[in-house]
Amino acid sequence: MHFESLSGEQLQSLLPPALAHRLREETEVPSGVPRRTFLKVATASGFALGAFPLLANTEQTVAPTAATSLKANQLPAAFVSIARDGTVTVTVNRLEFGQGTHTGLAMVLAEELDADWSRVKAVHGTADMAYADPAFGIHITGGSTSVKHSYTQYRELGARTRAMLLAAAAKQWNVPVGSLSAERGVVIGPGGKRLPYGELADAAMQQPVPAEVVLKDPSRFTIIGQPTTRLDAKDKSSGQQNFGIDVNLSGMLTAVVTRPPVFGSKVASVDDAAARAVPGVKAVLRVPLHDGGEGVAVLATGYWAAKQGREALKVQWNDTGREKVDSARQLASYRELAAKTGNIKFDADMAPLASAPNRISAEFTFPYLAHAPMEPLNCTVQITGTGADAKAKLWVGTQMPGIDAAAAARVLGVKPENVAMEVQMAGGGFGRRAIITSDYVVEACTVAKAAQTAGLNVPVRTLWSREDDIRGGYYRPMHVHRAEIGFDAQGNVLAWDHVIVGQSIMAGTFFEPMMVKGGVDETMVEGMKAPYQVPMRLSAHHPKHNVPVLWWRSVGSTHTAYVMETLIDEIARATKQDPVAYRMKLMDAGASRHRAALQLAVDKSGYGKKQLEAGRAWGVAVHESFSSVVAYVVEASIVNGAPKLHAVTAGVHCNLAVNPKSVEAQVQGSALMGLSMCLPGAAITFKDGVVEQSNFGDFAVPRITDMPTMAVHIVPSADAPTGMGEPAVPPLAPAFANAIAQLTGKPLRELPFKLA
């Protein structure tokens, strides 16, 4: 997702009133409790700096003086726990769902703490406001902002904790703090005296929290910048890691929901006799859905029984008044809109277009795409108590725990402060677990509430199947682009008239006031024009359809990068210029990071120097998204009439790479996801309002045989890191397409690829 153009204050101002009120309450320290209050948390292994003070019901140990300038997300107590054996547990304010954030932010904090990395662990935060994004002020894992926004925050948290440990040691030894140092989890004093952190944690809690700390010079880093194996690697590679789907509580029932085939439809009638007869089925309940439609939930003692029960249902649907989207008709209507100028984003003079000596007229089409994370959606809800005393606990892998908690409170009729979120490790998401409507969480709460009403006072896990996930909506929107470009013999672009057609992902949400400007959804046009010096008129149309849409990993750049980079290549071919040299010439003066990333990929790939195998061609693309630049140089061919990607060399400029191993993994995974957009079958299509795909048999994803060899190279930098969760997705498809165009002489203007 992409909210980079918004300030934290702007985002907070757009929140629903209940959530905004909760945010204000929880970021204000209660009367009489200093902001740097610490909690004394007794554990089996010792005392710890840990557990956020404002919501915990444990004994408070108040620091002697108050550093009232500090905010909740600056207090080490919410983020650092040091056990008596020296184990450091870092609480991470982001969902870990494959991107390596738990390891990266733990590394950042451990660096300034001078911790022993072999004794560092990481856990998820909660919906507590201490764990909100420090820049946006809301809980969010997205927009490739995790390390970018929390880098300084976690450095300061580590430095504050270290300072308190040193102060405790100085007091115990009765020596000046300046005479002490720290190294690998130990405070070192005069004469080589040593005190492990675990022995100092209790005393450190009594020390004031320093408002100001001096951070290390990057030249002194020993953890940050080192290729580091992820903290979750062992458990995930050995099958020991638990995810949200694995939640198993005493007495828990599993629910599956049959949803209408046409979005927003209602139940006309249901015959559930056969479903109720399935062994293990405990209830069949009609439930409202978040979009105004209805579904039927089958609750059973396990998933298989619930699934069998659902298959035995006989449901008739009422889709009166609901649009029945048809992909062929929709494409035709988009093409008509693309022929007309829409709402203006850029407005350069198009007069030179008529007299340009060379022209390109191009139309691009992009389908709906499903997120299809490996772990389907799920949420477990437990309701206890009634009336004003009602409480709820949710176990869910969510990218927006605060927004989802507020939605749960609303649906369940529970006070917001009585909703507890146990954020679970998630098996992917790509944006699908960050839903402004909280659709799957709302659904799970609705089912749990209906179960309670039916007398089933047990935890309920609502679980989606793969088919539910593919057909469940919230797709990357379908788009059509039309470009009219005039240029001279040297490749100088004289005029570029560009129209984009696609649904707005921000319309109708509380982000609309700030993200839809002049009728243009900023997320749909991001990635257009820059960094090239081209006079462009860019406009957009946002038709509305009965298809729920959402950001998809790298958002608008999923299609804008493809259009920009294939058209730039096409101009280079038309004017007989090397595509790399042409890009370098066309980039504006501020594109130093683009040039560095592209040059690195070129140099490392052997582009222009290495002799390729017969039938292969080079392809090049470079793109910036989420403040990072990724360039690809690829080798591709056509095998048995189908495009084949053989090798990929990446040049990456993400400023300082906190964990180069994670950057490499993100680029590899992103390249594979970019490749998925190119493969036949990689599209969601509609017929009579119904999604035609249901599983990986008809919604294609790359197989191991599709994976090219990859080499990832990072431009050295000591500047504060930028995002890496998404930027490596957009340039892969255009680089691949450009290589194929070199072989065939024909540009590919449709994803997935079609050579004929």
**Mean pLDDT taken over the chain:** 92
- The residues that bridge with 384 in the sheet, in sequence order, are 391
Give Cα separations from 404 to 267, 407, 709 (angstroms).
26, 5, 40
pLDDT at 10: 58
pLDDT > 60? residue 60: no
pLDDT at 478: 98
The CATH number assigned to the domain with range 340-370+474-744 reads: 3.30.365.10
Judge whether 513 and 599 are in contact, CB under 8 Å: no
User: Cα dihedral sign for 248, 253, 258, 264?
Assistant: negative
* pLDDT tens string 306-355: 999 999 999 999 999 999 999 999 999 999 999 999 999 999 999 999 99
What is the spatial distance between Cα 25 and Cα 36, in angstroms, rounded to a whole number?
17
Give me the phi and psi of 377, to 5 degrees please. -65, 145
* Mean pLDDT, rounded, for 726-755: 97
pLDDT band at 61 (very low <50, low <70, confident <90, very high): very low
CA-wise closest residue to 313 among 293, 294, 299, 296: 296
- The residues that bridge with 486 in the sheet, in sequence order, are 359, 495
* pLDDT tens string 517-556: 999 999 999 999 999 999 999 999 999 999 999 999 999 9
User: Cα dihedral sign for 126, 130, 134, 138?
Assistant: positive
The CATH number assigned to the domain with range 8-237 reads: 3.30.365.10
pLDDT at 697: 94
pLDDT at 69: 84
* pLDDT tens string 408-454: 999 999 999 999 999 999 999 999 999 999 999 999 999 999 999 99
Q: Crossing angle for the helix pair 579-586 and 592-605, nearest 10 degrees?
A: 170
pLDDT band at 30 (very low <50, low <70, confident <90, very high): very low
pLDDT band at 11 (very low <50, low <70, confident <90, very high): low
pLDDT at 58: 27
Second CATH level (architecture) for the domain 246-321+377-463: 2-Layer Sandwich (3.30)
What is the DSSP annotation of 662-675? Answer: HHHHHHHHHHHHHH
- Percent of the chain at pLDDT above 70? 91
What is the DSSP annotation of 368-429? Answer: BB----SS--EEEEEEES-GGG-EEEEEE--S-HHHHHHHHHHHHT--GGGEEEEEPP-S--
What is the spatial distance between Cα 540 and Cα 274, in angstroms, rounded to a whole number?
50
What is the spatial distance between Cα 660 and Cα 666, in angstroms, rounded to a whole number?
10
Domains 246-321+377-463 and 340-370+474-744 share a fold: yes
What sections of 575-696 are H helices per DSSP?
579-586, 592-605, 660-676
Least confident of 61-70, 82-91, 470-479, 674-683: 61-70
* pLDDT tens string 363-377: 999 999 999 999 999
Taking the whole predicted model, whether its pTM rises above 0.95 is answered as: no
Cα-to-chain-centroid distance, residue 748: 29
pLDDT > 70? residue 41: no
Give me the phi and psi of 445, to 5 degrees please. -70, -40
How far does the chain reach from its first CA to its final CA, in angstroms? 34
* pLDDT tens string 139-177: 999 999 999 999 999 999 999 999 999 999 999 999 999
Residue 24, both tokens: 């204000």
Provide the 3-class DSSP secondary structure of residue 13: helix
Domain ranges of the chain: 8-237, 246-321+377-463, 340-370+474-744
- The residues that bridge with 624 in the sheet, in sequence order, are 629
Q: What is the CA radius of gyration of the chain?
A: 27
Cα-to-chain-centroid distance, residue 464: 20
